[in-house]
Amino acid sequence: MTDLELVGANKSFGGWHKRYRHYSEVLGRDMIFAIFLPPQAEQGKSLPVLYWLSGLTCTDENFMQKAGAQRLAAELGLVIVCPDTSPRGDGVPDDPDGAYDFGWGAGFYINATEQPWSKHYRMYDYVTQEIPALVEANFPVSEQRSVSGHSMGGHGALICALKNPGRYRSVSAFAPIANPSGCPWGQKALERYLGPDQAQWKQWDASVLMAKASEKLPCLVDQGEDDSFLVEQLKPEALEQAASATGYPLTLRRQPGYDHSYYFVATFIDDHLRHHARALGLAG
């Protein structure tokens, strides 16, 4: 496989969970991503792909180990690809105060324009262009793609879909940062990565983008009502208002008793996989 180094492999539900290291031209350093290849991948079929974008502090391992997605993905014949949440390592700047919500583990899936972040923090180009091209060149997959994510990754999934008409068949999110230009997590990241011009921030805000979207993809969002970040950081009502104003096909479900954890994600992941399977033409 071109420029891919296998760093781990585990048999799972008749398929394979594998981790690869590669050099990213976009980010200017080595990166690791995970891929789940269902059993159908060994039968010569070109399979559709769900790209999963994880949240703050996460790597590729959180979703693959905790969400429990492999069983149904194996039944459906759905490939899952999970990149890291940011560049890391020597030479990559991190939050100077060691905060968890910026820098390593917190790339916010945007293209930074401010120094010193712009050299490496271009996660938007990485997840929308470089990783799909790498996956499609090296694995038995089609160009049929969907995208999903959790928290910061939910924000990432929404903006990737909303900014790229025709690239994805469906989108979903768990507890997304729906209005980053209007919450502390987002304001901190957007100002440091993009500078003080708030007009630039809005180009990376899902609620703003949804209000003027030219393409209307099937969109499923789950939000736990006992999520400690709900009121201050997540703001799903902004997404609902945008969808209502434009007729965007958003299904936003508020789930009583659920928090922000992977217990929440694991509970509803099958619904999301079936949501994407239907859009990708698989039996869901």
Full-model pTM: 0.97
Q: Choose among 203, 190, 119: nearest CA to 152.
A: 190
- The yes-or-no verdict on residue 24 having pLDDT over 70 is yes
Q: What is the pLDDT of residue 2?
A: 59
With cut-offs at 50, 70 and 90, classify the pLDDT of residue 3: confident
State both tokens at 31. Answer: 């990166």
Q: What is the pLDDT of residue 44?
A: 80
Mean pLDDT of 107-127: 98
Mean pLDDT of 167-180: 98
Q: Choose among 109, 115, 107, 37: nearest CA to 69.
A: 37
Mean pLDDT of 148-160: 98
Q: How far is CA 230 from CA 109, 131, 235, 268, in A?
A: 20, 31, 6, 18
State both tokens at 251. Answer: 């299904």
Catalytic machinery residues: 151, 227, 260
Residues near 199 by Cβ (< 8 Å), separated by ≥ 6? Answer: none
Mean pLDDT of 192-201: 97
What domains sit in the chain, N to C, each tagged with a CATH number?
A: 5-280 (3.40.50.1820)
Mean pLDDT of 239-246: 95
Q: What is the pLDDT of residue 110?
A: 98
Is the distance from CB of 21 to CB of 30 less than 8 angstroms?
yes
Residues near 27 by Cβ (< 8 Å), separated by ≥ 6? Answer: 87, 120, 121, 122, 123, 126
Distance CA 216, CA 199 (A): 23
Q: What is the mean pLDDT of the chain?
A: 97
With cut-offs at 50, 70 and 90, classify the pLDDT of residue 45: confident
Q: How far is CA 216 from CA 31, 58, 112, 166, 282, in A?
A: 32, 29, 27, 10, 20
Distance CA 31, CA 43 (A): 29
Task: Return the percentage of the chain with pLDDT > 70, whole number.
Answer: 99
- The yes-or-no verdict on residue 182 having pLDDT over 70 is yes
Residues near 155 by Cβ (< 8 Å), separated by ≥ 6? Answer: 108, 109, 149, 173, 176, 177, 178, 180, 186, 206
